[in-house]
Amino acid sequence: MSDDIIVCEQLRKRFGPVAALDGLDVRAQAGCVVGFLGPNGSGKSTTIRILLDLARADSGSVRVLGEDPRSGGPELRRRIGYLPGEMRLDDRLRVDETLRAWARIRGNVDPGDATRLCDRLGLDPSRHTRTLSTGNRRKVGLVGAFMGRPELLVLDEPTAGVDPLVQVEILDLITESRADGASVFLSSHVLSDVQRVADEVVVIRAGRTVATGDVDSLRRTARQEFRAWFDRPAPEDALRSVVTVSGLVVRDNEAHGVIEGDPAALLAVLAAHGITHLVMPEPDLEQAFLAFYEAASNE
Amino acid sequence: MSEATRELFLGAVRTLRRSTLWWSVALSGYVVLNLAFWPSFENSDMLKSFDDMGAIMEAFGAKDLASPAGYLDGQVFALMLPILMSAMMIAATTAITSGDEDAGRLELLHALPVSRSALWLTRFAGALVMLAVTTAMTLLMLVISIRVFSLDGVGVVDVAGPLLGSAALAMFHGAVGFAAGAAGLARPRSITTAVAVLVAGYLVALVLPIAKTFESARNWSPWHWALGQAPAVDGVSLVGIGGLVAAATAIVWVGSLAIEHRDIRTA
């Protein structure tokens, strides 16, 4: 018997003339954190909404925790904690009222869960939801998703809009949930978040899966820009000899280019030639997985 | 009732509590203000002259305006109170169903362990509580006002019947707004649909029959089922009101089926 907690096969979904999903295949193993990566508009949120039965696929099959989300209904959703991509709260309620209402609807929620999670995320439960910033609204959603300790957490961009310290706390919560036996399906376009917590990744583009695998193997193929300054003229020949470097541009004592995969060889060259400063900005997914996207476009 | 259903229902009631208060004040104020003018008009020839205008005035529900019951019909029950109560229900049901869906506030609730139809039905039930409270407040103010302003010969039953009819009419139009939203229309279009039914019903019940050829058309109007032609003067038909409530219930039921068969909109 398969221990896949999420199985999507050949999912298709159109919104008028736009194909949001075009034969998407996704598998997520039980007990893992699966990063679901793709640029904006690639179909991540549509897929997640289908998993929660908020949207229905035009064709293809979906199984979540072994059940069809539509026929599984409320009992299936009781086993899932969900954070939507856009947090819209009832502005007429306070945070604690909102969380209490969700807990009563969900059932079997330890009343202490919400309090503990609010403390960890630095969320004041007495505040009115209409006064909350985007980041704090996201925290309310996270508390709602994690409380009750569901078997499966489906989190759409969990760290978007929150400050770096809270981002670390959120990633810790995800890691702890996995350690407690939960599975996590984590959508993001921030590669570093996924790298930190995910066991497996699924990369999609334009509604189709373009890559799947473990994080390390994908990281080895990912592209990242670098810009380096030296205390002497930049070592152009040495840099060009690094096979993982491409798009190299050298000017005086500055060089910039793109490193694909393991940076060890590049770092060795830089260190040997008097580097004074190095910048490697967080790559966006489009750039990081350009090879996959180009391959998918050419099909 | 499960704890989840109870929470959803109470949540809907809580959401509408402020609107309930203000609509109660508005409807009560409208009733008191209109009845307060009765002593000034009671012996006026002006009201009798309106009666002489016949069919045209009947289009506005005015019949036998010089009598206390006729005055009540013309000023309260024939047009304005049913319209106000229907507007209230259309606004309330669409605000907490299609309106909340438009704003993305239902996304998380639909992801919780509760069926879509239960979520939407508890919201309609919350709007019904609002209707019950505002109707009770309006009845109280009507009963007090007919005593204070000496509308002689008008009893509690004479105002309770038309008020019940107005509430049934409001429930019906709230149901139309609910079902339109459940079928997938955004709130502005849901409101437009319900208001179109409201206006069409009024025209069919009161304006079209001015032409004798179309007199029987009024039998197709919810207005006629709820209020007849002169509810305070002639009384209302409980069968008609019951039929309207049954029709509203059927529309809500169809709406609750529709919401199970479509995507939930994102904001």
What CA–CA distances, in Å, run from A162 to A159, A168, A194, B95, B207?
A: 6, 10, 16, 30, 60
At residue A110, what are phi and psi to the nearest 5 degrees? -65, 120
Mean pLDDT of all residues in A1-22: 89
Task: Answer with the residue of higher pLDDT: B215 or A126.
Answer: A126
Query: How much is the pLDDT for A294?
Result: 63
Cβ contact, residue pair A52, B115, below 8 Å? no
Cβ contact, residue pair B4, A105, below 8 Å? yes
CA distance from start to end of chain A = 33
Q: Give the C-alpha separation, A207 to A93, whole Å.
A: 37
Q: What pLDDT digit, counting tens, does each position of B114-154 carry?
A: 999 999 999 999 999 999 999 999 999 999 999 999 888 89
Mean pLDDT of all residues in B206-215: 84
In sequence order, what are the residues at sequence separation of 6 or more whose Cβ sits closer than 8 angstroms to the Cβ of residue B227? B61, B77, B78, B82, B162, B165, B166, B169, B236
In sequence order, what are the residues at sequence separation of 6 or more whose Cβ sits closer than 8 angstroms to the Cβ of residue B198? B83, B86, B90, B173
At residue A157, what are phi and psi to the nearest 5 degrees? 50, 60
Query: How much is the pLDDT for A193?
Result: 82
Q: What pLDDT digit, counting tens, does each position of B148-177 carry?
A: 998 888 999 999 999 999 999 999 999 999
- Interfacial residues of A (vs B; Cβ cutoff 8 Å): 45, 49, 52-56, 73-75, 77-78, 80, 82, 84, 86-90, 92, 101-102, 104-107, 141, 144
- Residue B152: how many other CB atoms lie within 10 Å: 10
Residue of B245, B258, B14, B262 lying closest to B122 (CA atoms): B14
Q: Give the C-alpha separation, B85 to B69, whole Å.
A: 20
Helix H or strand E segment including A34: strand A33-37
Mean pLDDT of all residues in A256-267: 88
A231 sits in the region (left: phi over 0; alpha: psi -120 to 50; else beta) called: alpha
Q: Does B1 touch chain A (CB under 8 A)?
A: no
A97 confidence band (pLDDT: 50, 70, 90) = very high
What CA–CA distances, in Å, run from B63 to B44, B72, B74, B164?
A: 15, 10, 7, 20
CB-CB contact of A77 with A84 (8 Å): no
CATH class of A4-219: alpha beta
Ranges for all domains in chain A classified under CATH 3.30.70.1560: 223-282
Mean pLDDT of all residues in B59-82: 83
Task: Please give the ipTM for the structure prediction.
Answer: 0.84
Query: Among A95-99, A160-164, B164-168, B254-258, whose mean pLDDT is lowest?
Result: A160-164
Q: Which residues of A touch B264 (CB under 8 A)?
A: 49, 54-55
What CA–CA distances, in Å, run from B147 to B19, B41, B47, B70, B157?
A: 28, 16, 21, 16, 14
Q: Is the pLDDT of residue B236 over 60?
A: yes
Q: Does B21 touch chain A (CB under 8 A)?
A: no
- Residue B50: how many other CB atoms lie within 10 Å: 19
B51 confidence band (pLDDT: 50, 70, 90) = low
A270 confidence band (pLDDT: 50, 70, 90) = very high
How many A/B residue pairs have CB atoms within 8 Å?
77
Q: Number of C-alpha atoms within 13 angstroms, CB side, residue A232?
A: 7
Fold (topology level) of A223-282: Alpha-Beta Plaits (3.30.70)
Mean pLDDT of all residues in A203-212: 89
Q: Give the C-alpha separation, A232 to A99, whole Å.
A: 60
Residue of B119, B108, B100 lying closest to B6 (CA atoms): B119
Mean pLDDT of all residues in A233-241: 93
Query: How much is the pLDDT for A289?
Result: 66
Helix (H, G, I), strand (E, B) or coil at A184: strand
- Residue A241: how many other CB atoms lie within 10 Å: 11
Mean pLDDT of all residues in A280-297: 65
Query: How much is the pLDDT for A1?
Result: 44
Cβ contact, residue pair A88, B8, below 8 Å? no
Ranges for all domains in chain A classified under CATH 3.40.50.300: 4-219
